[in-house]
Copies of this chain bind each other. A is one copy, B any other.
Amino acid sequence: MSRPPRAREIVLDAFEQILSNEGARAATMDAVARQAGVSKGGLLYHFASKEALESAMVDRLLKLVADDLAELESAEEGSVTYFLRTSAAEDDNLDRAMIAVARLAQSGSEPARDAIRTVRLQWEDALRPHTRDALALDLVMLLADGLSFNSTMGGDAQLSSVPHGEALDTLIERVVGLTTW
């Protein structure tokens, strides 16, 4: 509690970064150790196996989502607007963790897939009181899934046709108008 072990976080950051930038295939123990600036032995002191590393990544996501759910409830702009806006982001801690865990999930990690499903349900429960009806909630969730999916597919060289900036703001505004009171 007093002071979190720092090296663990650095290693986890490295794992997250490689997963995001290069995909699960490239996220080997070796690559993670190199990126984190520690030796393979050093890595394995902190995380005894790859599974342990993945599990820690999932835990990080769950923690960040718990924080986000609190944010969401108190968001000045409204919960749904906040949710959709942040679903499109790529550069905060939560989204990086989300992308990393999504990559693990698609590569075959069951715990990662469970986590993705769990956090989706948590967000859905949190937004239910703020949306008109079940249909409106479905629309909001699917839209967020779409935005999130495009974040994971984007990567560096994106320049895709997915709305961003002002177009995205307008879209969110419209959808919020349709789904909330």
Binding site for B on A (CB under 8 A): 22-26, 102-103, 105-109, 113, 116-117, 120-121, 124, 134-135, 138-139, 141-150, 152-153, 155, 160-163, 167, 170-171, 174-175, 178
Contact = CB atoms under 8 A, between A and B. Distances in A.
The residue among A24, A117, A152, A174 with the most chain B CB atoms within 10 A of its own CB is A117
Given A145-B149, A153-B113, A24 B167 contact: no
A139 B135 contact: no
A88 to B, nearest CB: 9
A124 B161 contact: yes
24 contacts: A22-B108, A23-B107, A24-B24, A24-B106, A25-B107, A26-B108, A103-B106, A103-B107, A106-B152, A113-B153, A116-B153, A121-B160, A124-B161, A135-B170, A139-B175, A142-B147, A142-B163, A143-B143, A144-B146, A145-B145, A145-B147, A145-B149, A146-B146, A148-B149
